[in-house]
Amino acid sequence: GNSVTQMEGPVTLSEEAFLTINCTYTATGYPSLFWYVQYPGEGLQLLLKATKADDKGSNKGFEATYRKETTSFHLEKGSVQVSDSAVYFCALSVLSGGSNYKLTFGKGTLLTVNP
């Protein structure tokens, strides 16, 4: 089956620190990979994605590279801000049932950035 494993939090950093949140996956077929962010009390927002090996997704200073050889999609940011405090979910998507793309999520990592 499909599964996503991401590092457990919570992660607490000071502003301008470097962030890495590890994510590895197992999948049948060739998945697309995503990072979603959830701010308190809200739904999920797509942060970035990559659809094939060696693709790098990037947005708002965050980056992640699709590494097929290590089945990983680690999230990085060089300098975090207080506003980055949120829960981050790694996810994969594969075609299911012939026509639907179903997302499988990791458990989420709570990031708190202190001033």
Which chain residues interact with another protein by CB under 8 A?
32, 36, 41-46, 49, 51, 89, 93, 97, 99-103, 105-108, 110
The answer to whether the Cα torsion of 98, 103, 25, 79 is positive or negative is: positive
Q: Measured from the CB of residue 60, what is the shortest distance to another protein in angstroms?
A: 17
Q: Measured from the CB of residue 75, what is the shortest distance to another protein in angstroms?
A: 16
Tokens 């990072």: give the residue: 35
Q: Measured from the CB of residue 52, what is the shortest distance to another protein in angstroms?
A: 12
| Residue from 83, 9, 91 nearest 40 by CA | 83
CB of 3 or CB of 14, closer to another protein: 3
CB of 47 or CB of 113, closer to another protein: 47
Spatial CB neighbours of 51, under 8 Å, sequence gap ≥ 6:
32, 33, 66
CB of 60 or CB of 102, closer to another protein: 102
Q: Measured from the CB of residue 78, what is the shortest distance to another protein in angstroms?
A: 26
| Residue from 98, 88, 2, 80 nearest 39 by CA | 88
